[in-house]
Structure 1
Amino acid sequence: MAGDGESFSSDAASDDVKFGFQRPEMYKSDLAGTVDPYDRHVFLCYKSHDSWPSRVEDSETDLLPKLLSGALKARKKDISVKTRLTICEGRDGTELSDGDVLIFPEMIKYRGLKESDVDSFVEDVLVNGKPWASGVQEDLTGSHIFVCAHNNRDRRCGVCGPVLIEKFKEEIELRGLKDQMFVSGCSHIGGHKYAGNLIIFSPDPEGKIAGHWYGYVTPNDVPDVLDQHIEKGEIIERLWRGQMGVYVEAAKKEEEHKLPNGKDLKKSKKNAQENSSHEKKENVTSCCQGVNGISCCRDGSLEEETSKVHGKKELGRLSCWMGKWEQSDVLAAVAVVGAVATVAVAYSFYRRSG
């Protein structure tokens, strides 16, 4: 018996070094930005984490997860928000039982989903956004922590997850918060190399429900998660992977199209073009209502063109007249000079003959 105990302890220590919190890859990767954008998270409560096959949503022996996953994929185009499905633990006699469905950020729960009800549930709740006709909608309260413990999918989560779950439960009980904070193991959420992985759904400082993802979480971090994130609403940046509903790039692009006063740049350009076009139209045509309903309209552009044409004609006439005046003046001057010269020559001959 003693030998068996020593062997188990040795195996646990070996697992911790290879797959647990002592593994060499811990803290080697940047965590921020490792969550794909999405808007809604659906959790299906089903059995326990140590019983899930590697691909529990595709398992032929686990029809409920398979049917719900298939229905979500089939109606993907009909669901208005990007929805993610994860399996969480459901144990009869506890807060969560097999078939219960939790939906975030709506913070609602439906109990006892059956295989025959999957299509109607997806149609009513996820496609049409209405209460499920075959079930009773319940409100969720408090903070909900989901820890990836999917051992058959990846050994790292299988080693780290259960340890974190027990630590959270221990801390929550010590603080007397069992009716305010709830922790459960969940299936693969992506990023096994970041184990321990967890998602927290809790109200932010403004009262909105936000789903925050954390990685590289160890048992020593659990008090900080409870104190800093859940109690104070402050993100633990060194462990933070991302958040449900946040589209950083889209927000940046939107800001690029805004002026300092908050107005939309595209709209401003469009309005400026419309105003310019409107002013041109006003300059082109103006109308007034005459006596007895007779309308007198003037085409501004036509008057302007006519004025230009008339101006050119008058200028041409003036230039022509000036040209003619200069020519006659020159001829007259030449005639006068010629006459004077003739008189001078005649007078010269007269003096000589005398």
Structure 2
Amino acid sequence: MASNRDRDEALTFTNPSSSSSPIAVSDPFDSILADHTSRIGSASGSFQNEGLLSDSTNDAEFGFSRPDFRTSQLAGTVEFYERHVFLCYKNPQVWPARIEASEFDRVPRLLSAAVMTRKADMKKETRLTICEGHDGTETSNGDVLIFPDMIRYRRLTHFDVDTFVEEVLVRDGEWLPGTPETLKGSYVFVCSHGSRDRRCGVCGPALISRFKEGIELHGLQSKVSVSPCSHIGGHKYAGNIIVFGSNLNGEVTGHWYGYVSPEDVPVLLEQHIVKGEIVDWLWRGQMGLSEEEQKKSQELRLQLNGKINVVQNIEELTQTFKNETLTVARRSQVEQR
């Protein structure tokens, strides 16, 4: 039986009648999931629950080796929504379990309340999520990223919240005096909300670390951004990530992936971000599609692709990543001598 925390909903303002439920997929796809489970690695760099648990204990209970990892089908587990708003604010270590909580700082708390209050007036089903922010960096505290619009507003304060929600989210206009900046490339958000669920707190940091390694290794720093984010729904599918970017047709999409392990990151970078191809055996769903449409979309892709060589490609990409990482490490050692 699922725990209460598995049934918790993300901070999303959508039709409450919709629900997320895994589906059964044909046997060949099941075999892909089962086979890849045997190659799961362990988490590194994960939260330590105030130092009380070791890495191995964390991984066995909450990480990529936990008993419930890859035990449910994924496609069709994203509730329908049309717009995703991210508020850049501090880091996962200081986020409370719920961003609407009274103990949270004013900007995220007031923005959450304003979005909830005006949800009936919005033309688009909207999700609000917190992502990491650091003053003096590309994503400063108070910055707001909006997808699929691919725009950023700078430095929202608690004085601006009501006006921002009215002008941008309700009227679909621009917030003045703010000037929207166009976002380019791909944006990866990894749920790392450890205070909400330990599984996300353990899996998230390990995935972010691996993404950063891969991005640097392949010279994608100017094309791919990765950031921890607050709860997005579906704790039991941790590691959970969302990838926003333009597809081959130039359309901005938001694809959700679940049960992602560090070994899967090279596949996502190579196949999804570089080639624009969905990694179906990790795919949960997509912004803009209903749960039923997500299931049908995947079924169609699997029929067209014939489910051929998926596991083989995963093994090849993983081995390539390991070889390249070893080469970089050796080169670094030589340069230090």
CA shift, 1:50, in A, is 1.2
Tell me if the contact between 2:79 and 2:291 (Cα under 8 Å) persists in the aligned partners: no
CA shift, 1:178, in A, is 0.6
CA shift, 1:205, in A, is 1.2
- Superposed, which structure 2 residues align to 1:116-155 within 5 Å? 116-155=159-198
Q: Which moved more, 1:48-57 or 1:156-165?
A: 48-57
CA shift, 1:129, in A, is 1.2
Higher helix residue share: 1
- Is the alpha carbon distance of 1:63 and 1:179 closer, same or farther for their aligned partners in structure 2, counting shifts above 3 Å? same
Does residue 98 (structure 1) correspond to residue 141 (structure 2)? The answer is: yes
- Structure 1, unpaired ranges of 5+: 1-7, 253-354
CA shift, 1:250, in A, is 7.3
**Which residue of the other structure, out of 221, 236, 241, is the alignment partner of 1:193?**
236
**Which residue of the other structure, out of 194, 210, 213, is the alignment partner of 1:170?**
213
Matching residue of 1:228: 271
TM-score (normalizing by structure 1) = 0.67
Matching residue of 1:5: none
Secondary structure of the residue that 1:129 maps to in structure 2? coil
Give distance in 2, aligned partners of 1:192 and 1:125: 30
Give distance in 2, aligned partners of 1:249 and 1:218: 26
**Which residue of the other structure, out of 282, 293, 311, is the alignment partner of 1:239?**
282
Matching residue of 2:248: 205
CA shift, 1:61, in A, is 3.5
CA shift, 1:251, in A, is 10
Counterpart of 1:217 in structure 2: which amino acid?
V
Matching residue of 2:158: 115
Secondary structure of the residue that 2:181 maps to in structure 1? strand
Tell me if the contact between 2:271 and 2:279 (Cα under 8 Å) persists in the aligned partners: yes
Q: Which moved more, 1:99-108 or 1:66-75?
A: 66-75
Secondary structure of the residue that 1:94 maps to in structure 2? coil
Give distance in 2, aligned partners of 1:22 and 1:168: 20
Give distance in 2, aligned partners of 1:36 and 1:105: 16
Secondary structure of the residue that 1:182 maps to in structure 2? strand
CA shift, 1:93, in A, is 2.2
Tell me if the contact between 2:80 and 2:291 (Cα under 8 Å) persists in the aligned partners: no
Tell me if the contact between 1:58 and 1:65 (Cα under 8 Å) persists in the aligned partners: no
Give distance in 1, aligned partners of 2:96 and 2:292: 36
CA shift, 1:233, in A, is 1.1
Matching residue of 2:309: none
- Is the alpha carbon distance of 1:51 and 1:248 closer, same or farther for their aligned partners in structure 2, counting shifts above 3 Å? closer
- Superposed, which structure 2 residues align to 1:208-219 within 5 Å? 208-219=251-262
Q: Whose radius of gyration is greater, 1 or 2?
A: 1
Does residue 87 (structure 1) correspond to residue 130 (structure 2)? The answer is: yes
Give distance in 1, aligned partners of 2:95 and 2:175: 27
Give distance in 2, aligned partners of 1:78 and 1:61: 26
Give distance in 2, aligned partners of 1:140 and 1:216: 28
Which of 1 and 2 has higher RCO (CA within 8 Å, sep 6+)? 2
Counterpart of 1:159 in structure 2: which amino acid?
V
- Structure 2, unpaired ranges of 5+: 1-50, 296-337
Give distance in 1, aligned partners of 2:183 and 2:64: 32
Matching residue of 1:70: 113
Matching residue of 2:85: 42
CA shift, 1:216, in A, is 0.4
Give distance in 1, aligned partners of 2:287 and 2:223: 21
Counterpart of 2:215 in structure 1: which amino acid?
I
Q: Identity over the aligned pairs, expressed in percent?
A: 59
Give distance in 2, aligned partners of 1:174 and 1:38: 34
